[in-house]
Structure 1
Amino acid sequence: MESLEEISQQEEPIIEDSVERIGDRNVDIKVTPTPLAKHGTGSWKACKFILATECFEELAYYGIQFNLVTFLKTILHESNVSAARNYTNWQGTCYVAPLVGAIVADSYLGRYLTTLAFFAVYLIGMAAMSISASLRPDGSSSSPQSVIFFLGLYMMAIGAGGIKPCVSSFGADQFDDTDPTERLKKNSFFNWFFFSVYIGSFVAGTVVVWVQDHYGWVIGLWIPTLFIALAMASFFLGSSSYRVQKPLGSPLVSVCQVIVAAVRKRNVDLPRDASLLYELPEDVPMAEGTKKLQHTPVIRFLDKAAVISSAEELYSAPWRVCTVTQIEELKIVIGMLPIWATGIVFFAVLAQFSSTFLVQGRMMDTMVGTFAIPPASLACFDAVSVILFVPVYDRVLIPTARRFTGNERGFSELQRFGIGLFLSILVMAAAVVVETRRLALGRMCILWQVPQYLLVGASVVFACVGQSEFFYNEAPESMRSLCTALGLLTVSLGSYLSSLVVTLVASITTRGGEPGWIPNNLLKGREGFGGIVVVLLEPRGHIYRST
C-alpha cells in the first residue's frame, strides 16, 4: 500500500469535483442569483402561493381518500376485503412515489420543475377518474369503467407522491437562513403549512364527501379535479416570486457509492489508526449543504470504503474510494432505521381510519335527527382534533412539560413519538369498544365513532410531528431530503402491512365456510370488525414496549 503522502499528490480528481459543486445555488426563475434578486423574490411573497397550492392539493387528495372505499363498494361493487385491500395498496403507492420525486428533484429538475411535472400527472389522473364515474358499470373488474378509474387512481398516486417531498422543502427554500429575520419567518412557515394541510383535509371531509354522497360521483369527482387544477395554477402564478435551488445530485448516489466501495474492498484490512482513512483535506471546502463528520467506531465494515489501496483508485473514485464523511452519513441513516421501522406499524394502525373504520361506520345509524351523516365525513374530526390540539400542545402542554423534563421543547423527539404510539393503542381500543357494543345492540349511532377519530388526530400531533423532527434533526445536512422521503415511506409500508393483515385475517377466519371477521355484511360476522382491530392492536403494543 502506498503512503498517504505519495497518494495526496494525486488527489486532484476528487478535490476538483468537490470544488465544482460549491457556489450559490439560489436563483430566481430567470436564473438570476438570489443576492441580486432577493428583494423581489422569496419570503411570504412567494409562500402565499405555496400555502394556497398545498391547501388546494390536500383538499383534492383527501376528497378521494376519505370516500374511496365507498366508491369501490357502491360503484365498482367490490367486497369489503377487496375494497379495503385496494385502498391500502393505493395509499401505499402514494407514499412510495416520494422517493421518486426526491430523486428527480435532487438529481435532475430541482423542486420547482419536479412539482410542476408531477402536478401534470396528478391532473391527468384526476380527470381520468372523473370521466370513469360517468361510464356505465357492468360489474366486471375488467370493464372500461374499472380500467380507466384504476389507471387514473394510480396516476394520481404517482403525482401526489412526487409532490409531497418537494412542496414543503420548496417553501422553506424561500427564506434565507443567513438573514435572522427571514430565519424566524421560516419557522413560522412550517406552522402555516401544517395548518393549510388540515384546512384542506377538513373541507374535503365535510363538503366534498357530502356532495359525493348526495349529488353523485360524477360531480363528486370533478370537484377534486377542479381543485388540483387550481393548485397547479396557484403554484405556477407564483413563479416570478420564487427562489429556486439548482440540483446538486441525489444523496442516494452517495449511499450507493459507499456500499459498492465497501463490498469491493471486503477483503481489505482496516488500519488501526482511523486517521489513515480517506477524507478531503481540511483546507478543501465541502459542497454546499454538507460538513465534515468525525469517524465513529460502529459498523466498521463500511469503513473499508475509505481505505486507499493504491493511487490509481483516486482516478476511479468515487465508486472505489469514499470519504469518511460519506460513510458517517450512511451510518447515521442506518442508526435511524429502528425508529423508522416502528413508524411502519404506527401507520398500519393509522390506515384503518379511512378503510375499516369507514366500513364500520356504514353499518351504524347515520341519522342524527333529520340529518344523514356520511360515514366518510367523520374523518373531519381527525382534522378538527389536529387543528385544536396543536395550539394546546404549543401553549399549554410544552411549558408544563418543560418544567418537569428540563427540555426546552418539552419532550424530546423520541418521547413525543412514544406518546403518539401509546395514543394509537387507545385509538384501536376505542374502536374495539364501539364494535363490541354495536354487535351487542345490532345498531347504534355513528357519533360513537367520534372519540376514535379524535384520538387519531392526537396521535398524529405527537407521533407524526415527532417522527418528522427526529428525521430532520438526526439526519446529515446533505441527506435531509432523502430522510424526508424515507419518513414518508413508512406511511406506504404501513398501508401495505395493513393490506396484508386484512388479507390474512379474511383468509384464516373464512375457512370451513365461516363468514369470517370481515364479511360483506358485518352483522353476520361472529367477531365482526373487532377481530381485525384486535389483530392490529396486538403487534402495535409489542413494538411500543420494545421501543
Structure 2
Amino acid sequence: MDLEDGMSTKSSGKRGGWITVPFIIGSAGALGLATSGASANLLVYLVEEFNVKSIDAAQITNIVNGCVSLAPILGAVISDSFFGCFPVIAVSTAISLLSMVLFTLTSTISSLRPAPCATGSDACPTATPDQLAVLYAAVALVCVASGGTRFTTATMGADQFDSATDQNVFFNWYFIAQYVSSVLGATVIVYVQDSVSWGWGFGISAAASAAATAVLLLGLRHYRRPKPTGSPFTGLARVAVAAVRKWRLPTSPEAVGLFFGPDKSTLQSNQPPSLSLRWLNKAAVVTRGDNNEDGSLAKPWRLCTVQEVEDLKAIVRILPLWLTGIFLSISIGIQGSLTVLQALTVDRRLGPHFSVPAGSLIVSSFAASAVTLFLLDRFIFPTWRMLTGREETLLRRVGIGHAINIAAMAASALVERMRMSAVRSHRLADDLAGATVPMSVLWLLLPLVLVGVAEALHFPGQVAFYYQEFPPALRGTATGMMAVIIALGFYLSTAVIDLVRRATDWLPDNVNASRLDRVYWTLAAGGAVNLGMFLILAQAYRCRSGSPETLAAEKQVALAPPPPTSEGHKRL
C-alpha cells in the first residue's frame, strides 16, 4: 500500500495522514537537537564558564530543566483553548532560534562572561548581574520555545490520524526522533563545545532551530488543523461548581431529569452517567429555572451536560495514576545531575586522544530509549501479539517501566560503591580540588542505559494513555500532562537534594567525600513503594468505556482475529 492509499484509509478528508509525519517529526527532531545541544552541557557550562560551584550548578540545572519541562503544559492549554497547535508551534520554533542566538553571544563575547578561573578554586570571580541577565534571558526563551513545541507537536501529529493504532505508532516514532536528536545533541554538539569552542557548539544549535522552522513550514499544506473550541477548562469548572451548588439533591441512576444538551440530534445516546464519582452527576440534574423554554441553558453554572460531567470524571480518575509518575521523574532528575558530578571525578579517557565529556553521559540513556522503542515497535510487540493474540496494554507497559527504573537506581548505588572504594583505596576523599578516581567512566553507563530502557516503556506509554483517556477537547493538555510530571520531578529533585544536604552529610561539595550510594538506595526504596501504589491504582482503574483496560483488550481479541500490523508499521 502506498502513502496516499494509507492516507485515504487512515484519515478523513484530504489533509492529515502519514504524509505529514516527515515534516512534523523532522521539525521536532531538529528542534530537539538544538535544545539538547544547549541544555545537555549546561551544568558544565555553568561550572567552567560562569564559575558556579558544582552542587549549586546541579541545583540550577534542575530548576532550568524543570522550567523547560513545565512550560509545555501552558503551551498545550493555549493551543487547546485559543490558537490550535500549528500557530503555537510555529511561533515557538522562531523563539527557539532567538534563544540559541543569545547562547551563542554569551559564549563568544568575553564581556558577557566572568573572568576565567581554574576549576575547583575558591577564589573565582562571580558573574555580574548584566552577564547573568543575558544568560537567563537565553534560558527563559528556551523554556518558552519548549512550551510551545515539546508536547504540542506530539498532539499535532496524533491529530493527523483517526486510528488509535496509528496514533500509538506515531507516538513511538515521535519519541524515537526525540531520543535520536538528544543523542546527537549530547554527543556531537557537546563534543564541539568541549573540544572546539562553546561558540561553535551553540552556533550549531542555532542552525538546527532555523532548520526546524523551515521544515515545519514546508508541510503546511498537508496538515490537518482542528480549530480550538474555546477553553475546555471552563466546562470542567462549571461541573464542579454546579455539583457543589446542588449537593443536597438526591442522586438517581436513571436518565430521567438529566440534561444531555439542547441539540438532541447530535447526541450519541441518552444513557445515564456512570456510577463512579456519582456526586458529580448532580451537576446534570435539571431543576427549576436551569433551562429556558426552548431547552437552552439559562444558568450554565448550575447545569451541565452529562458529557461534561463524564469528561471531568475521566480526568479525576486519571489523576492518581498520573501522580505516581512524578516519583519516576524525581529519581531520573537526581540521578542525571549526580551522575555528571561523578563523571567529573573518574577517568573519562577512551584511548589516547579522546575524553568523554561529562555532559554527554546522558546520551547513553537517550540511545537506549531510541533502540528500545524501535525494538518494541518492530519486534517485541508484534511477537507478543503473534504468540498471545493480545495487544500489550498501556498500563502494563508503564508498570514494567517503573520496575526497570527501580533496578536502575539500585545499579547506580552499586556503581557508586565501587567508585568510593577506589576513592578510599587511593585516599582521595580529602582532595578538595577533585582528584581523578582511577575508575573508567564506562561503569556509569549501565544505570543510565537501564533508565533509558525504562523511559521507552513508561514515557510514551503514559503519553498515549493520557491522549486516549482524556476528553477530545483536552488532548493537547493530555500530552502536556507528561510535561508537568517532568517539571515537578526536576523541581522536587532539587528540593530532595536540598533536604538531603540539610539533614545528612551525604552531599558535601567534594564529591569524593560524599555518600551518593545512600541517596541512590533511598531512591530505589521510594520507587518500590511508588510501584506498589501504581499497581493498586492500575488494577482499580477503568477506561472511559467503563471496562478495565486489560479486559477491554481481551474482549477485542476474543471477538476478532489478532490484528494485523498497522499500515503505519508498514510504511515506517
TM tier, smaller? 0.7 to 0.9
Work out the CA distance in 1 between the residues paired with 2:166 and 2:399. Answer: 29
Note if contact 1:60-1:225 (Cα within 8 Å) is conserved in structure 2: yes
What does residue 459 of structure 2 align with? 464
Deviations 1:277-326, CA, capped at 9 Å, x for gaps: 2222683315xxx9877412222332222222223555444322111111
Matching residue's letter, 2:446: P
Note if contact 2:253-2:273 (Cα within 8 Å) is conserved in structure 1: no
Deviations 1:107-155, CA, capped at 9 Å, x for gaps: 2111111111222332222322222223231543553222211121022
Work out the CA distance in 2 between the residues paired with 1:293 and 1:366. Answer: 65
- Of residues 272, 286, 289, the one that matches 1:311 is 289
Counting only pairs closer than 5 Å after superposition, residues 86-235 of structure 1 correspond to structure 2 as 86-133=60-107, 134=109, 135-137=112-114, 139-140=125-126, 142-175=128-161, 177=162, 188-235=169-216
Moved more, 417-426 or 301-310: 301-310
Give the secondary-structure state (helix, strand or coil) at the position aligned to 2:31.
Answer: helix
After superposition, the Cα gap between the structure-2 partners of 1:172 and 1:300, relative to the gap in structure 1 and judged at 3 Å, is closer
- Of residues 487, 499, 517, the one that matches 1:492 is 487
Moved more, 442-451 or 70-79: 70-79
Work out the CA distance in 1 between the residues paired with 2:419 and 2:531. Answer: 29
Work out the CA distance in 1 between the residues paired with 2:362 and 2:519. Answer: 20
Query: Structure 1 length as normaliser, TM-score?
Result: 0.83
* Gaps in structure 1 of 5+ consecutive residues: 1-33, 510-515
After superposition, the Cα gap between the structure-2 partners of 1:80 and 1:328, relative to the gap in structure 1 and judged at 3 Å, is same
The percent identity for this pair of structures is: 30
Give the secondary-structure state (helix, strand or coil) at the position aligned to 1:368.
Answer: coil
1:174 CA displacement:
3.6
What does residue 510 of structure 2 align with? 521
1:389 CA displacement:
2.0
The answer on 1:321 being equivalent to 2:303 is yes
Deviations 1:481-524, CA, capped at 9 Å, x for gaps: 22221232111111111111011111222xxxxxx322222112
Work out the CA distance in 2 between the residues paired with 1:367 and 1:107. Answer: 51
1:170 CA displacement:
1.9
What does residue 550 of structure 2 align with? none
Counting only pairs closer than 5 Å after superposition, residues 129-528 of structure 1 correspond to structure 2 as 129-133=103-107, 134=109, 135-137=112-114, 139-140=125-126, 142-175=128-161, 177=162, 188-271=169-252, 273-280=254-261, 283-285=264-266, 294-312=272-290, 315-370=297-352, 371-398=354-381, 401-402=384-385, 406=388, 408-409=390-391, 411-442=392-423, 443=437, 444-509=439-504, 516-525=505-514, 527=515
Work out the CA distance in 2 between the residues paired with 1:293 and 1:164. Answer: 38
Give the secondary-structure state (helix, strand or coil) at the position aligned to 2:506.
Answer: coil
Work out the CA distance in 2 between the residues paired with 1:415 and 1:186. Answer: 18
1:474 CA displacement:
2.6
Matching residue's letter, 1:540: G
After superposition, the Cα gap between the structure-2 partners of 1:269 and 1:185, relative to the gap in structure 1 and judged at 3 Å, is closer
Matching residue's letter, 2:405: S
Note if contact 2:284-2:304 (Cα within 8 Å) is conserved in structure 1: yes
1:249 CA displacement:
2.0
After superposition, the Cα gap between the structure-2 partners of 1:47 and 1:291, relative to the gap in structure 1 and judged at 3 Å, is farther
Note if contact 1:261-1:321 (Cα within 8 Å) is conserved in structure 2: yes
Work out the CA distance in 2 between the residues paired with 1:47 and 1:466. Answer: 20
After superposition, the Cα gap between the structure-2 partners of 1:167 and 1:394, relative to the gap in structure 1 and judged at 3 Å, is closer
After superposition, the Cα gap between the structure-2 partners of 1:307 and 1:450, relative to the gap in structure 1 and judged at 3 Å, is same
Query: Structure 2 length as normaliser, TM-score?
Result: 0.80
After superposition, the Cα gap between the structure-2 partners of 1:502 and 1:312, relative to the gap in structure 1 and judged at 3 Å, is same
Moved more, 478-487 or 337-346: 478-487
Work out the CA distance in 1 between the residues paired with 2:282 and 2:374. Answer: 49
Work out the CA distance in 2 between the residues paired with 1:357 and 1:402. Answer: 38
Work out the CA distance in 1 between the residues paired with 2:533 and 2:165. Answer: 38
Give the secondary-structure state (helix, strand or coil) at the position aligned to 2:150.
Answer: helix
What does residue 119 of structure 2 align with? none
Note if contact 1:111-1:166 (Cα within 8 Å) is conserved in structure 2: yes
What does residue 558 of structure 2 align with? none
After superposition, the Cα gap between the structure-2 partners of 1:351 and 1:294, relative to the gap in structure 1 and judged at 3 Å, is farther
Work out the CA distance in 1 between the residues paired with 2:518 and 2:256. Answer: 58
Work out the CA distance in 1 between the residues paired with 2:422 and 2:384. Answer: 42
Deviations 1:403-447, CA, capped at 9 Å, x for gaps: 78x5622x3222211111111111111111111111111221101
Q: How many pairs align?
A: 492
After superposition, the Cα gap between the structure-2 partners of 1:395 and 1:132, relative to the gap in structure 1 and judged at 3 Å, is closer
Note if contact 1:129-1:150 (Cα within 8 Å) is conserved in structure 2: no
* Gaps in structure 2 of 5+ consecutive residues: 1-11, 116-124, 424-436, 535-572
C-alpha RMSD of matched pairs (Å): 2.5
Work out the CA distance in 1 between the residues paired with 2:215 and 2:461. Answer: 30
Work out the CA distance in 1 between the residues paired with 2:166 and 2:522. Answer: 45
1:186 CA displacement:
5.9
Note if contact 1:262-1:305 (Cα within 8 Å) is conserved in structure 2: yes
